[in-house]
Structure 1
Amino acid sequence: MVLGTTLLGLVCLMEQGVWEQHGPPPKTSIWAVPGSVISIGSDVTVFCRTPPGVTHVRLTHYVLNGKWFDRAPQGVQEVFEFSLQNMTHTSAGTYHCDYTKEGEWSQNSDHLELVVTGVYKIKPSLTIDSRPKGSSERKMTLLCHTHHSFDIFILCRGGNASLPRNCSHQDHNTFLISPVSPGHKRMYICFGSYKRNSYLWSLPSDPLVLSTTESSTSDYRLENCIRLFMAVILLLGLGALLLDAWKSRKEPMGPLESPKLKA
């Protein structure tokens, strides 16, 4: 009985090892330079990193009839470049990499979403919609405004717009942004798009630079110091009242007068 169980366990382990050995090769990694948001007419390079020893690498673009680009390794090569030139509206969309090794195709890489801006020749305006009183520019709402009927609005932070790290999109044009660090500047731009093809964007708005000035930061610190000082005074006054009450309870009573006896 024990021998049969042992043999069965060895068979299971051998089957698992064969399955792992003949399973699909691991997926590759994919990224784009200068980024995944490209202005119309510009160039972008897509990189695919593979394990050593591959025989064929393919970059696939998800379009109606399918489109792909092939590369064969030159010697010992693990990073493959695919140059996409003169980006147009037909170049936007989702891409992935895969490869062959020892006659087997790998898993698909994670999806890379390439966006083309300037397809719609409309330029939104980005403004500060509101700022809560006393916020000292630490929290605010930005408005991406356009007279065109876009149903998606995108706000990007910094000069290098990249999905999804620096850009976020939503179906309304007001964006509540996180606080700006004191003494630091942060630049924003916005775009408009449509849900039917969210990879095609408008022209970018003019940049809006937000910063917390040193004066506003100093005013904020001064207000905090004043509040702290008033709290200390209040606590000291309350402590003095409590001490006075405690002392009055501890004071000894005067000597009692003896009653006078009638003659």
Structure 2
Amino acid sequence: GFTELHLMICCGTLFLVTSIDGTLHKPTIKAEPGSVIASRSAVTIWCQGTLDTEICVLHKEGSPESWGTQTPEKPENKAKFSIPSVTQQHGGQYRCYCYSSAGWSESIPFLHPSPVATSGENMTLQCVSLEAYGKFILSKEDEKFSISLDSQYIHHNGHYQAMFSIGPVTPVHRGTFRCYGYYTVTPQFWSLPSDPLEIHVSGLSKTLSLLSHQGHILDPGKSLTLQCCSDINYDRFALYKVGTINFTQHHHKWTQAGLSLANFTLGSVNSSTGGQYICYGAHNLSSEWSASSDTLDILISGQLPFTPFLSVKPNSTVHPGDNVTLLCWSRESVNTFILYKEEAVYQPQRLKSKFQDQHFQAEFSVSAVTSAISGSYRCYGSRNSSPFLLSYASAPVELIVSGEVALNCQSDSQFKP
């Protein structure tokens, strides 16, 4: 929360409208002599903080610099900002920030995105705040390390940010990072720190697989366990959901047929479970994580309120070498169709939809079919706003390849992404 002061000009008169959000410990702001001020008249803006406020800053929205700093006057602890002759340039929205022993009176910056960086590559950390800080500082815990950058105003979302580039990344970059903001007129006063972001450094060798024995598309309420597997005897594993800052370590592992494995039980799935997952491995004596596994998509069905249709052309029984097409369509708006073969180990195939004959559709085609494509298929729809949340499943279509066929080592590739 924050307090705003709006200054508007109409017919040569400057109107001052004060709004206070009522959030505890936020400064109040008001204008004197009143809410209507004639052009070229004097106006005083008062900021009042808490009893332990040390300094207040007045900032005009859209202005790269503050309009000044003042020490609050006792006993009311008000800071006074005077404009002797108002003009059109003074019109706009003002905010008042006060600093006390608890820090600045506005929201804390946040630091993101990914907690995993690959050794040898560059890494960018983004510090973001709704507040108009002049500079941001990035620091690393337990080290005398800091980088200061000017903030940039992002017009489309009204945020202030700084992008910190670090690299090439080495294991020494692993650790906990935080960022701070401060106003250029008060560089000695920093904001409260952002939430910590722990950076893990992964290696360059790829030796892991991430599997879902429950399949890639799940109904809400189903139980989900992901298994990270490697032919290298790692001592610990970690699971990461792409786009979050959650990094789940799993120190328990077991071996099977020369493989080291770890199970990550995610429990009963819901809409928030959908997304992309990757896993990492590490040795106890090393601070460096392996390279990531390939991404694993987990899709949640029944999250969009419609059911697509699935049909097969020319028919559901074909002979080896024939061509076959599975047609998925819906009258509802669909950006992408997903074709899923039941009990398949590979990930579902996706195709962008096309609007044709008053409905959305996608054609999944295979030429020179083999027995590998025999099975039961279902179709789902998704939208760009939530690509991992699907519609209800279509009715199943059973595809049968009849007749004998020679063994083909490449046959499993049909209908794979």
What TM-score range do you get, normalising by the shorter chain?
0.5 to 0.7
**1:211-255 per-position Cα deviation (integer Å, ceiling 9, x unaligned):** 3668xx9xxxxxxxxxxxxxxxxxxxxxxxxxxxxxxxxxxxxxx
* Residues matched between the structures, number: 185
* Contact kept? 1:113, 1:163, Cα under 8 Å: no
Which residue of structure 2 aligns with residue 258 of structure 1?
none
Report the 3-state secondary structure (helix = DSSP H, G, I; strand = E; otherwise coil) of the residue aligned with 1:206. coil
TM-score, scaled to structure 1? 0.59
Report the 3-state secondary structure (helix = DSSP H, G, I; strand = E; otherwise coil) of the residue aligned with 1:104. coil
* Contact kept? 2:255, 2:261, Cα under 8 Å: no
Q: Following TM superposition, by how much is the alpha carbon of 1:180 offset from its aligned partner in structure 2, in angstroms? A: 5.2
Does residue 70 in structure 1 map to residue 259 in structure 2? no
Please give the root-mean-square deviation of Cα atoms over the aligned residues, in Å. Answer: 3.3
Report the 3-state secondary structure (helix = DSSP H, G, I; strand = E; otherwise coil) of the residue aligned with 1:114. strand
Which residue of structure 2 aligns with residue 82 of structure 1?
264
Q: Following TM superposition, by how much is the alpha carbon of 1:44 offset from its aligned partner in structure 2, in angstroms? A: 1.7
- Paired letter, 1:124: P
In structure 2, distance between residues paired with 1:136 and 1:111:
35
TM-score, scaled to structure 2? 0.39
* Contact kept? 2:223, 2:269, Cα under 8 Å: yes
Which residue of structure 2 aligns with residue 235 of structure 1?
none
**1:117-148 per-position Cα deviation (integer Å, ceiling 9, x unaligned):** 221132111123x539xx88943433212221
* Contact kept? 2:234, 2:281, Cα under 8 Å: no
Q: Of 50, 69, 94, which residue of structure 1 is paired with 2:276? A: 94
Q: Cα–Cα, structure 1 residues 53 and 115, in superposed 2: closer, same or farther, change >3 Å? A: closer
Which residue of structure 1 aligns with residue 228 of structure 2?
48
Richer in strand (by share) = 2
**Deviates most, 73-82 or 28-37:** 73-82
- Paired letter, 1:72: H
In structure 2, distance between residues paired with 1:73 and 1:202:
36
Q: Following TM superposition, by how much is the alpha carbon of 1:34 offset from its aligned partner in structure 2, in angstroms? A: 2.0
Q: Following TM superposition, by how much is the alpha carbon of 1:24 offset from its aligned partner in structure 2, in angstroms? A: 3.9
* Contact kept? 1:47, 1:82, Cα under 8 Å: yes
Gaps (5+ residues) in structure 1?
1-22, 218-263
Q: Following TM superposition, by how much is the alpha carbon of 1:49 offset from its aligned partner in structure 2, in angstroms? A: 2.4
Report the 3-state secondary structure (helix = DSSP H, G, I; strand = E; otherwise coil) of the residue aligned with 1:48. strand
* Contact kept? 2:336, 2:350, Cα under 8 Å: yes
Q: Following TM superposition, by how much is the alpha carbon of 1:94 offset from its aligned partner in structure 2, in angstroms? A: 1.3
In structure 2, distance between residues paired with 1:213 and 1:103:
54
**Deviates most, 193-202 or 66-75:** 66-75
Q: Following TM superposition, by how much is the alpha carbon of 1:149 offset from its aligned partner in structure 2, in angstroms? A: 0.1
Richer in helix (by share) = 1
- Paired letter, 1:199: F
In structure 2, distance between residues paired with 1:68 and 1:175:
36
Q: Following TM superposition, by how much is the alpha carbon of 1:76 offset from its aligned partner in structure 2, in angstroms? A: 7.3
Gaps (5+ residues) in structure 2?
1-201, 354-361, 405-417
If asked which structure has higher relative contact order (CA below 8 Å, sep 6+), I would say 1
Q: Of 145, 160, 163, which residue of structure 1 is paired with 2:343? A: 160
Q: Following TM superposition, by how much is the alpha carbon of 1:62 offset from its aligned partner in structure 2, in angstroms? A: 1.6
* Contact kept? 1:139, 1:178, Cα under 8 Å: yes
In structure 1, distance between residues paired with 2:370 and 2:254:
49
Q: Following TM superposition, by how much is the alpha carbon of 1:174 offset from its aligned partner in structure 2, in angstroms? A: 2.3
Which residue of structure 2 aligns with residue 232 of structure 1?
none
Q: Of 29, 40, 44, which residue of structure 1 is paired with 2:209? A: 29
Q: Cα–Cα, structure 1 residues 148 and 76, in superposed 2: closer, same or farther, change >3 Å? A: closer
Higher-Rg member (1/2): 1
In structure 1, distance between residues paired with 2:303 and 2:280:
29
Percent of aligned pairs with the same amino acid: 22
* Contact kept? 1:95, 1:111, Cα under 8 Å: yes
Report the 3-state secondary structure (helix = DSSP H, G, I; strand = E; otherwise coil) of the residue aligned with 1:90. helix
In structure 2, distance between residues paired with 1:25 and 1:170:
32
**1:91-132 per-position Cα deviation (integer Å, ceiling 9, x unaligned):** 11111112332132222222222122221132111123x539
In structure 2, distance between residues paired with 1:162 and 1:117:
18
* Contact kept? 2:234, 2:282, Cα under 8 Å: no
Within 5 A, what are the aligned runs for 1:89-238?
A: 89-101=271-283, 102-106=285-289, 107-128=291-312, 130-131=313-314, 138-157=322-341, 159-160=342-343, 162-164=345-347, 167-172=348-353, 173-179=362-368, 185-211=374-400
